[in-house]
Structure 1
């Protein structure tokens, strides 16, 4: 392969990544959100029976709310996988950016659940009839760690994309 072909390939790769950067992020974000929602619903709602999505009514309403929550998590997950497949088909998949989106989506969902749904709206708690503080702290610290890790990956990929853009534009001047 000649040097000119390599430069054109690098420019093409940069252009593809640049054009689909946001889609990689959103696909990962939706996957992370759907995955963590699925794990939450499966482990804490179904297997451990610690709570329902909505605990302020009857058990029947709680089960219906769990079903709707479960459907939401799968719609987000399946939608993200369609986006993932499209990115692969277009040769525009950027796994590092996608994984950053996964971690960010998972962390934001978990932090939203732990702060807004548990504390502000009081739809449910992680557990009942126990000291809730260790559960809340663990839940929210894990969420913050996921958000930080996802943000680091996203920032790194943005810097790498900007550096590639500078290299490509400099080479073609």
Structure 2
């Protein structure tokens, strides 16, 4: 892999880890709005949350390991790395809000309320994260050519 792709991968893994951690911590644990999988018992929901948290933790550890390797080799490019992080955080959130919430119906953001404002907010934030990340990735590609 190239230095650029390793920077993107490291940032993307941390973006995934951060987005999943924020979702898990805020919506699953603090607000108790949903579990990763709500189509069964609360015990199954807790197990699914634990597995979800483990995956996000391993993504974070892998990202930081790769980041330390990039920095040690002098190959760390902050703009490219941040572009990967923001893009993946947005992709995760958009995937969660569309595929998991709507297509698969694994869970909703919240229950027993009108979801319109929640869904729009969730997906607009995702789109903004993706747009910011893609813009950084495009600018980092131009900066490398210059």
Shift of 1:160: 1.1
Q: Which runs of 4+ in 1 moved over 6 A?
A: none
Shift of 1:162: 1.6
RMSD: 1.0
Of 2, 11, 17, 1:34 maps to 17
Of 98, 110, 118, 2:93 maps to 110
Computing the radius of gyration over CA atoms, which structure comes out larger, 1 or 2? 1
- List runs of 5+ in structure 1 lacking aligned partners: 1-17, 164-173
1:23 maps to which residue? Answer: 6
1:68 maps to which residue? Answer: 51
1:127 aligns with 2:110: yes
Deviations 1:66-117 (CA, angstroms, capped at 9, x unpaired): 0000001101011000000000000100011100111001000000000000
Deviations 1:133-172 (CA, angstroms, capped at 9, x unpaired): 1000000000000000000000000011122xxxxxxxxx
1:139 maps to which residue? Answer: 122
Number of residue pairs matched? 146
Distance in 1 of aligned mates of 2:136 and 2:53: 28
1:57 maps to which residue? Answer: 40
Distance in 1 of aligned mates of 2:128 and 2:98: 15
Aligned with 1:69: secondary structure? Answer: helix
TM-score by length of 2: 0.98
- List runs of 5+ in structure 2 lacking aligned partners: none
Aligned with 2:33: secondary structure? Answer: coil
